[in-house]
Amino acid sequence: MNTPLTRTRDEGADTEWWRDAVIYQIYPRSFADSDGDGIGDLPGVIARLDHLVSLGVDAVWLSPFYPSPQADAGYDVADYRDVDPIFGRLADADQLIAQAHQRGIRVIVDLVPNHTSSAHAWFVEALAAAPGSPARDRYVFRDGRGPGGDEPPNSWRSVFGGPAWTRTTDPDGTPGQWYLHLFDAGQPDLNWDNPQVRDEFVDILRFWLARGVDGFRVDVAHGLVKQADLADWHYPAETTTGDHVAQARPPMWDQDGVHEIYRQWRAVLDAHPGQQILVAEAWVQPAERLAAYVRPDEMHQAFNFEYLEAAWSAAAQRTVIDRSLAAADAVGAPTTWVLSNHDVLRHATRLALPVGTPRPNGIGAGDPQPDTALGLRRARAATLLMLALPGSAYLYQGEELGLPEHTTLPDEARQDPTWRRTGHTERGRDGCRVPIPWEADSPSYGFGPTDASWLPQPPVWAEYAVDRQRDVPGSTFEMYRTALRLRRDHHGLGRGPLRWLESPDDVLAFAVGAVTVLTNFGDAPVPLPPGVEPLHASGPLTDDGQLPTDVTVWARQPAR
Ligand code: GLC
Ligand code: MG
């Protein structure tokens, strides 16, 4: 077939759809609620699939919907082969996959292999079993240090704050061994040296492949294997600039042994008909280390968090784009791009912070409040820049509405374990997880049939609602929609190759496919190159056709 610039949703099986796919993250508990209990659910997602069709995405990734005590919003899985009653039933997952496929949208599910929930049958069994037993060997149990074993086995800390170890109580009531949890105490780490653990996850992959999913987003992909001696780790002090002092790789992250696991999983996927993908969530830098996860016999993609964290300046953006492309190219993988997800400050808020500010873990009512208009303007420019880059792009629900972080959430409402485990010093991630607005004048802004919402929605949500933006020229929703249509239909956007063009210092300019892309990071408007014809922009150009501060334009190159 010789139609390289056209992409249709029922393309032939031999096309590597994921190389330039736009993938939309659904955070089920905050997307759409069908039953009015204030928590989004799978029937809610099904009822709103047409929104995603009109937006024009290629695939969705669903954060976990499995049975779970919800100690970490479902990233604590008690049963990998079912659906939690708050989200629906297994039949709803099947329906969702079928309904999405009917609309030409692929479905990626979340796989959480670093840890289970403490309510998982294996962990319950391990607690009841003796030290040294096969049941305990599926997790990381150790005796404590010091007199009476009263001190944790090593110095590791939980990502959410506090020690990474919790002591157990023996059946006779006396203090027992400790178990490792790199996250919440309700998320015990699995022991990936145990063959039963490896077999179990291959089986879980096959379970969901058989149900028709198109891929897996692999949670904490850099954490599964720990350095065998569980050596103490001396956490880097923050310097006055907020940078971490460079030093050796920590013994709990990015160990070489993880790659063997992904090679095995890749073989499982390759043996299955169709094209399913593995996506690594690995907070690994530099880009070259991350690229190891997407070597030809491992995963297909890895989230590009270095890009997400890059400062809003022409120099920083150009550097991260070059590094990302080069590292991925070296292993033949597509780059990915991402600006927001359920773990970080929404980019419409993050980009309002002074350029170069380290990314805060949540913002509260007592903190300085970001300039919403500036944040949105930059967020829109960042998005149009991202959607032109060669590779696959990830969107997070609500960003197509220009939704900001909820920065004045009452502290009593917070549910992220980070807030509790840091002794109320880090607010955590609730502000980006607030249920999204669909209809300005409905209860819960159309999130569900009632006013119930598991996190309170701020009154400003009305102005961001889908029904206030649909068919409104210049709205953020219409900006996304036009961008995705242009990207899908023609022009080679998202496919590259990318060629940098000469430009003033504060302007980023490149050609990709048939399009010239310019972003102005400077503080004064700049003229467009002679002869180009604007196709799409993140904001209005000046009256005399110049590109204002914090605006991105896509333009057709002059005919030659
Ligand atoms: C990943 C998830 C995050 C979760 C953590 C532990 O980073 O994205 O939400 O808290 O893993 O599973
Ligand atoms: Mg519900």
Q: What is the pLDDT of residues 41-64, one digit of tens each?
A: 999 999 999 999 999 999 999 999
Q: Is residue 130 part of a domain?
A: yes
Question: How big is the CA angle at 251 (ends 246 and 255), to the nearest 5 degrees?
Answer: 100
Distance CA 63, CA 23 (A): 13
Domain boundary among 446, 479, 512: 479
369 vs 234, 411, 473, CA distance in Å?
34, 16, 29
Q: Is residue 199 part of a domain?
A: yes
pLDDT the model gives residue 438: 99
Q: Are residues 128 and 109 in the same domain?
A: no
- From 219, 303, 305, the mutation candidate for ligand 1 (largest count of ligand atoms within 8 A of CB) is 219
10 vs 7, 58, 524, CA distance in Å?
9, 11, 45
Q: How many A from CA of 537 to the centre of ligand 1? A: 34
- Given a cut of 70, whether residue 9 has pLDDT beyond it is no
Q: Is residue 490 part of a domain?
A: no
Domain CATH for 126: 3.90.400.10
Task: Provide the domain limits for residue 517.
Answer: 497-556
Over range 427-435, report the average pLDDT. 98
Residues of the chain by 3-state class (helix, strand, coil), percent to 5: 30, 15, 55
Name the band, by pLDDT with cuts 50, 70 and 90, for residue 490.
confident
pLDDT the model gives residue 244: 47
Q: What is the pLDDT of residues 113-166, one digit of tens each?
A: 999 999 999 999 999 999 999 999 999 999 999 999 999 999 999 999 999 999
pLDDT the model gives residue 314: 98
- The rounded mean pLDDT for the chain is 94
Name the band, by pLDDT with cuts 50, 70 and 90, for residue 219.
very high
Instruction: Kindly give the number of the ligand 1 atom that is closest to the alpha carbon of 342.
Output: 9
Q: Are residues 433 and 310 in the same domain?
A: yes
Q: Are residues 251 and 377 in the same domain?
A: yes
Q: Are residues 143 and 107 in the same domain?
A: no
Q: Are residues 535 and 441 in the same domain?
A: no
Over range 377-401, report the average pLDDT. 98
Q: Are residues 74 and 132 in the same domain?
A: no
Q: Are residues 251 and 310 in the same domain?
A: yes
Name the band, by pLDDT with cuts 50, 70 and 90, for residue 15.
confident
Q: Is residue 6 part of a domain?
A: no
- Global pTM? 0.96
Q: Are residues 304 and 231 in the same domain?
A: yes
SS (H, E, C) 504-519: CCCEEEEEECCEEEEE
Name the band, by pLDDT with cuts 50, 70 and 90, for residue 560.
low
Distance CA 534, CA 555 (A): 4
Q: Is residue 410 exposed (0-12), middle (13-18) or buried (19+ Cβ within 10 Å)?
A: exposed
Q: Are residues 257 and 142 in the same domain?
A: no
Q: What is the pLDDT of residues 226-266, one digit of tens each?
A: 999 999 999 987 544 444 445 688 999 999 999 999 999 99
- Given a cut of 60, whether residue 404 has pLDDT beyond it is yes
Over range 84-88, report the average pLDDT. 98
pLDDT the model gives residue 167: 98
Domain CATH for 508: 2.60.40.1180
Q: Are residues 156 and 257 in the same domain?
A: no
Q: Is residue 2 part of a domain?
A: no
Q: Are residues 104 and 125 in the same domain?
A: no
Domain CATH for 368: 3.20.20.80
Q: Is residue 5 part of a domain?
A: no
Over range 435-462, report the average pLDDT. 98
Q: Is residue 53 part of a domain?
A: yes
Q: Is residue 12 part of a domain?
A: no
- Active-site residue set: 219, 281
pLDDT the model gives residue 171: 85
Domain boundary among 180, 206, 231: 180
Q: Are residues 290 and 148 in the same domain?
A: no
Q: How many A from CA of 238 to the centre of ligand 1? A: 23
What residues are in contact with ligand 1 under a 6 Å CB criterion? 72, 75, 112, 183, 219-220, 281, 342-343
- Given a cut of 90, whether residue 14 has pLDDT beyond it is no
Q: How many domains does the chain have?
A: 3
pLDDT the model gives residue 484: 98
Over range 457-471, report the average pLDDT. 98
Domain boundary among 157, 180, 203: 180
